[in-house]
Structures are given as C-alpha cells and as structure tokens.
Chain A
Amino acid sequence: MAGSGLLGTPAAAGPRRSAAVTRRRPVRDRIRQGAWGWLFVTPMVLVLGLFMALPILMALWVSLLHWDGQSNPFTGHADFVGLGNYRDLISSDGLSRTLFATSLRNTAYYVLLTVPAQTVLALGLAIVVNQRMMRGRGVARTVFYFPSVTSSIAVSTVFLFLFQGSGSVNRMLSWIGVKGPNWFADPRGVVWLVLGDLGFTDPDHPGGPLARHGVLGLSWADWFSGPSVAMCTLILLSVWTTSGTFMLIFLAALQGIPRSLEEAAALDGVNRRQLLRHVTLPALRPVVFLVLTLGLIATWQVFDQVYVMGKGAPGNTTLTPAYLSYSSGFDNADYGHGAAIAFVLLAIILPLAGLQRWVLRERGGRGRRLRRGGRGPLRAPREEVGARG
C-alpha cells in the first residue's frame, strides 16, 4: 500500500498495517508502535519544517508587514499593517492593484494557451516516439528532449535574436509575403489586433465602449485584449521548452500500459483512433493529471523568461505575478507587498489544481467502491508533485 505523502510513508504504513493485522492487540502496543514510527520520521519532519514550513510561515508574517528589507521583521519594531498589503492588491484603487490585475490577466492568457498546447504536443510526441516500428527512436527522443535540458536563460536569449524585428523569423515570414510584427516590442493584444484587421474596432483605440469601464483598475478592453504579440512569443518559447519533459513523462506512462490491453483491443477490431480514445487515454489519466498540474503550477509562476526578455515590457503585457513580486521587493523595497503577491498567487493555484483534480476524477457507472478505489492511481502523481516541489 502506498503511503499518503512524501513524509508520511513510513508512519502511515505503520499504524495502518497494525490496524489491519493486529486488531486485537492492546492499545499500549499500538501507541508504542506509533511512537517508534514518529521517532523514525522526526529527522525528515525537522528538515521539512526548517526548509519548507518555517520559510512559508515567515513569508506569511512578512506579507502582513510594511517591510523595507533593511531591519529585522521579527521584532516588535516591525511595521505591522495587517491585511494592508492584500487590500492594496485587491480592493484599494491604485497603481499596485492595476499592476497586479495586469499581471493576472497576462498570466491567465499565458496559462490558458501554454498548458493545453504543451500537454497535447507532449502527448503527440510521446505517441510518435513510442511506436515500435519507428526507426531512429532514440535520436528522436533525444532531439525532442533537448530543449528541456537547455538553460531557459540561454533559450530566451536565442529567442530574443530570432524574433527581432529584422530577425530570422521575420525574414522567413517575408519569403511567403508576410510582414511579421516587431515581436518583443509589440504590446497590442491579439484579440484586438485580429478584430482591428477585420475592421471591427479602431486599432489605435480598441474595444470602444469596453475601454470606459472595468474591474480591478483595468478596463474591460484591457481584460479581453488577449495575450500581446510579445506574450505569444513567450508562450511559443515555453511550449517548445517544456514539451520535452512532459513527453518523457507520457512516454514512461505509455510504456507502462500492458501490451495485453492493446492486443485485446486489437482482437476487438478497433482502429487506431478508437485505441487512443478508449484504451490509451483512459490508462494515461493519472499522468495527464500530473502533467496538467505541473504545467499549471509552473506557468502561473513563470519568472525567468520574463526577467530575461523584457521585465514586463512592452506595455506591461509580459508582466507576471512572480516577476511583480520580485520587483516590488528588490526594486521598490516593499517586501511585504511582494510576499502578499506570492500568497495571492498561491490562493489562485491551489483551487485551480483542486478543480482540475475534480474534473479529471474517475467517473461513470462503476459504483462507489471503484470510485473510492479511483483515488489510488491519482495518489501517485501527487507524490511526484511533492517530490518535485
């Protein structure tokens, strides 16, 4: 029986087995056994407490302060502002709120486009390189995995050159008669860009009446602008770099699908699409959950590409909460504000991961027992998430 989490493995296995096997033993024995279990896991609990729980609690405390980073935040002199930092982000009108709303909008589009694209691409690549008939599988796997092992800073820098106004990408586009935009300098949202090209809206003042009203300090025209051209380049970059990693995860899962399943399906006379739809994908469900969750968390926290490629420019359209948190701290000397952004981000990611888990749960007339059993396979990915984080 698998444990319920990273740190709980030995402890959880201990009492559970004792409960099952030695139901009649006296309570004293069980307590002693539990105590031994806790003794064994104490070092791990200590390490995790020191390096995970404690920093999180300290950051939570800092998020309640007005802290300029130049004094001890854990003394009575700290300037306690309660939920002031959170109020600046969410309720009180001002630059902080507008910037935060802008970063949320940018990241929402980024997540919305990146996560499905990288998952589908990774699955496709994995299916391709999993074919037994394919020649040069090893080479293909290496090539597809290559972007993932390259430093994201290096990749970002190369992309900067490729996507210059007179860079290679635009030169290639010009061969087919397309005049490419000045990718990283273009703050226009693609929604308004397309609508403007079709003549539905004034390209210089998009959105019409939507521009006059808004929420969280950002007009509706800004909310619905879609990702900017610069952001689309970032999305392209992250799909390209991450799909290799996820391909590897899918590949491992594909190789774990019993051959007999496919053979049984073949005997039933299914074609390839049916095989994918009814055999492969259901078998991959836990792994799909894993990939989506990892993707969701990583994309909401995107920082390095933004830091390299423009620090939010052009027009704040590549600003992300993670970068905003960094710049509030180190550029604006307002670390409490930066910490508050990090916790709001956490409050966004957790429910989304929960929602995803709920959507991807096992379902369909298999009864209560199976539904409970269905939690088993889902548990494995969660452990891996924990291990990665």
Chain B
Amino acid sequence: MPISRSLGGAAAACAAAVLLTVTGCSSGGGFDSSAPKQSSSGSPQSLSVMIATSGDAETAAVKQATAAWARQTGNKVTVQLASDINQQLGQAFAGNKPPDVFYVNSDQFANYAKGGSLYAYGDQIPNASAFSGPLRDSFSYGGKLVCLPKDSSTLGLAINTDLWKQAGLTAADYPTTWQQLAKVAAKLTKGGVTGLVTTPDYQRLGALMKEAGGWITDPGQTAMTADSAADRQALDFVKSMMSAGSLKYASDVDAGWGGEALGKKKAAMTIEGNWLAGAMKADFPSVGYTVVPLPAGPAGKGTLVFSNCWGVAARSGHQKAAVDLVRHLTSAGQQLAFADAFGVMPSRTDALATYARKYPAAKAWVDGIAYAQRPVTIAGFNQVLTQFNTDLQSLRTSSSAQILEGLQRNGGQVLKNGR
C-alpha cells in the first residue's frame, strides 16, 4: 500500500533526522560537562562581569572600578548589563557559559549554591570578618562563606517633615513604639494623605514580625516558625492600622512603592531602605524627609537587611583573577566610592563607620545593621515567599492566622523535599 509505505518512510526519515541531530548535539558540546580550564595566572586574562544595575550611576561606577583593576593588573574586564539577571544567569548556567563574576540576588543565592554553580572563595579572603555578620550568614552555604556581600541595605521609617510639622508634631514625637506609630499615623491621616504607606511584601512587613519576636524560619533556617503568636501579633497590628485607615498599601494610593507615595505627598511615613535616598534625590528633590529607626515592637527593635553578593562562577576559567577582582571591588575604599556614586551602604563594618560619619542623615539605616534580620536563603523558597507576598496583599480582608498557616505549610513542604 502506498500510504503505509509513505508512513513507514516518514517514520524512518524522522528517526534518522533525530538520531543525526542527537549525535550532532552530543559531539557539538552544547552541554559540555568537563571541568573548567584554568588559565595560567601569569598571562593577561579577559573577565566578563554581569550586573543588574539600578541606573546609570551604578553602571558607570562599576565600569570605572573594574577598569581601574584591569589597568592595575593588566587584565581585561567587560561589564555586561542584565535586564533580567535571574533569567540571564539561569540561561548562562544551563548553557555552561556563565560570566566570571556576577551579582547574586539573595533570593537566588541558595538555588545557585545548591546547584554547585558558585565558586566558594570565602576562605581566600583574609579579612572576611570585616563584613557584617548577618550578611556573611546570608551568603554562606553548608557552613562555608561562598561569596562576599556587595553592599548592604536596611529598612527605616522615612517621614515627610512638612506633613509632620503641619500635623503639629515635633521631633520629640518620632515614634519609638508600635502604639506611638499607630497614634501619629492616625494624626497624620487626613485629606489625601495617609499616615503610613508601604508595599505589601514580607521585605517590609517582615520587619514588624521581627520586632514582635517572630520570623519566617528559625535562625538556622532549618524549620518554619511562621505560624507563631509573635508573627500573628505583627500582622494583626498591621491589620488594625489598616482598618483605622492610617495604613495603606502603595497600590491603594496609586504609587508603585513607598518612596513614590512619600514623594507625591500621599504618604506622611513609609518603611523603606537606603535606596530611598537616591530615588528621592532624583525624582522628588524638593520633598523634605527624615529617616528614623523603625519603632520597636513587643520584643524590641527590628529591621531587615538586604544585599547582593559578588558571585564567582564555579565554571569560570579565571577564578583566581576573578577573586582578586572581587577583593578589589569589596575593599573599603571602593565600597565608599560606590556609596558616593549611587548611595548604597558599605557591607564592611570599617567602611560603614566612615560612611556613617560622612552621611549623618543615613544614621538610622546604618544603626539598623546591628539588630537586622537577614533574608531567607533556602533553595526553592522563591515560590513560597512570592505566595506569602500575594497573600499579604489581601491582608485587609483575610485573617493573619490563615496567611501564616499557609506560609508555614508551603515552606514546610519545601524544607521537607529539599532534605
């Protein structure tokens, strides 16, 4: 039969095509799993650096810093800007062609470290203890410091000084407890102004959980502690301020984030980190504000610390040079240069002291490092935290206990499957 013959032919041809391409693929080396070739350390090397930049200022500063190192050592550095660094690094790892040095987001750190893509160079840094403790913990995996924190950011309470005065408040009224926060927020709420505006995510509201004595996981990140009474108390406090109308989410006042709400005078107070300083200078230079520490909760003071780290690829052929580059980029002088250029805080305690003297307005953020909670770094945890943020959006109509139970259950599953 012609039909059956042609079908058989088609099958044979397809099979041949697939076979051919499979063999082609395996010899072509799309997924080359051989060990990285180490270039000899003597000859000049060409390094690629991938960064997710916050703007032109950061790009220029990083380019300048790497160029200075390249001049010093005779090597060559190319800086690549990533528009979506998670995706670009993911593709680079899968394709086995990662950049030599790159930013690692704290939420991706555990995934990359677990997958063996990061070269743990912490033991080659003689003065690693100069970096602040919670950040070193954030970027350690299996007890080893894997990569050095690039900079640091903590949360503070930013207050619009004009609105503050208009409400008849003085510097003596800056809130230091939750009760005071609720009281001044209510006083500041009138007309188009909301007392406190923040974004519905654990990267802000989590500070309150810490202040109540709770957190998402235990300190060693081995067990979930999300459904604790302390966490419930924190979210209930947020809920009570919401129902009083003195706390709103940024999207409810048509702002993308707290800083925008503060700049547009829709918020009298917001909870933001030191990236706020650069944004306010660029977008709302005429709006006066001051930053105070987050008011203490039932268990004392609390804030969150964030950072990226300088990852070195396990598959890089220039690891020695790359580590040297990172050492240069994280030196105290260079960190201060970055701070001047685009407003990040140093991650080294020695540089941080200099920074605090130079930028007294950032005192609240700098002081926060001492009692800050580090971010959650557990492999495969992104989905869980994204879902928690999604649930926090509807905090007003749902119950704190329900949201935290969901977090406890989802996180528990990831911890169980990961081990």
Contacts and interface: CB of A to CB of B under 8 A. Distances in A.
A45 B6 CA distance: 14
A164 interface: yes
Contacts, number: 131
Interface in A46-65: 46, 48-50, 53-54, 57
B115 A99 contact: no
A53 B19 CA distance: 11
B44 interface: no
B14 A333 contact: no
Nearest to B249: A185
B75 interface: no
A330 interface: yes
A49 B383 contact: no
A353 B87 CA distance: 32
B173 interface: no
Interface stretch (B207-215, B332-340, B387-395): B387-395
B221 to A, nearest CB: 17
Contact of B394 (A38, A46, A72, A187): A187
A15 interface: yes
B414 to A, nearest CB: 8
A70 B117 CA distance: 7
Interface residues of B, number: 48
B93 A332 contact: no
Contacts of A166: 254
A330 B86 contact: yes
A313 B90 contact: no
Nearest to B13: A45
Interface in A289-344: 312-316, 327-335
A364 B111 CA distance: 60
Given A69-B93, A94-B413, A49 B5 contact: no
Contacts of B10: 8, 11
A118 B383 CA distance: 34
A165 B261 CA distance: 14
A313 B21 contact: no
At the interface, is chain B mostly helix, strand, loop or mixed?
A: helix
A95 B413 contact: yes
Contact of A315 (B93, B108, B382, B390): B390
B18 interface: yes
A49 to B, nearest CB: 3
Given A34-B5, A187-B393, A71 B22 contact: no
B14 A45 contact: yes
B6 A182 contact: no
Interface in B104-121: 107-108, 111-112, 114-117
Given A95-B413, A315-B393, A333 B252 contact: no
A72 B33 CA distance: 7
Given A68-B111, A70-B93, A42 B13 contact: yes
B22 A54 contact: yes
B21 A50 contact: yes
A46 B383 contact: no
Contact of B382 (A57, A70, A205, A331): A331
A263 interface: no
Contacts of B6: 11-12, 15, 34
Nearest to A54: B21
A313 B390 contact: yes
Given A315-B394, A332-B383, A334-B380, A165 B254 contact: yes
A30 interface: yes
B31 interface: yes
B20 interface: yes
A371 interface: no
A57 B410 contact: no
Contacts of A96: 383
Which of B33, B107, B386 has the most chain A CB atoms inside 10 A of its CB? B386
A260 interface: no
B115 A70 contact: yes
B86 A331 contact: yes
Contacts of A314: 251, 393
B72 to A, nearest CB: 32
B280 interface: no
Contact of A333 (B21, B115, B251, B413): B115
Contacts of B87: 330
Given A49-B17, A182-B254, A70 B94 contact: yes
B252 A70 contact: no
Nearest to B390: A316
A174 to B, nearest CB: 14
Contacts of B31: 72-74
B9 interface: yes
Interface in A124-141: none
Interface in A19-36: 19, 30-31, 34
Given A30-B2, A331-B108, A332-B111, 18 more contacts: A12-B6, A16-B2, A41-B13, A46-B21, A50-B17, A57-B18, A68-B379, A70-B115, A70-B117, A71-B116, A94-B410, A166-B254, A185-B251, A312-B390, A314-B393, A315-B393, A332-B383, A333-B112
Interface of B: 2, 5-6, 9-10, 13-14, 17-18, 20-22, 24-26, 31, 33, 84, 86-87, 90, 93-94, 96, 107-108, 111-112, 114-117, 251-252, 254, 379-380, 382-384, 386-387, 390, 393-394, 397, 410, 413
14 contacts: A34-B5, A48-B17, A53-B14, A54-B22, A68-B115, A72-B31, A72-B96, A75-B33, A94-B410, A164-B254, A205-B397, A312-B390, A330-B87, A331-B107
Interface of A: 8, 11-12, 15-16, 18-19, 30-31, 34, 38, 41-42, 45-46, 48-50, 53-54, 57, 68-75, 94-96, 99, 164-166, 182, 184-185, 187, 204-205, 312-316, 327-335
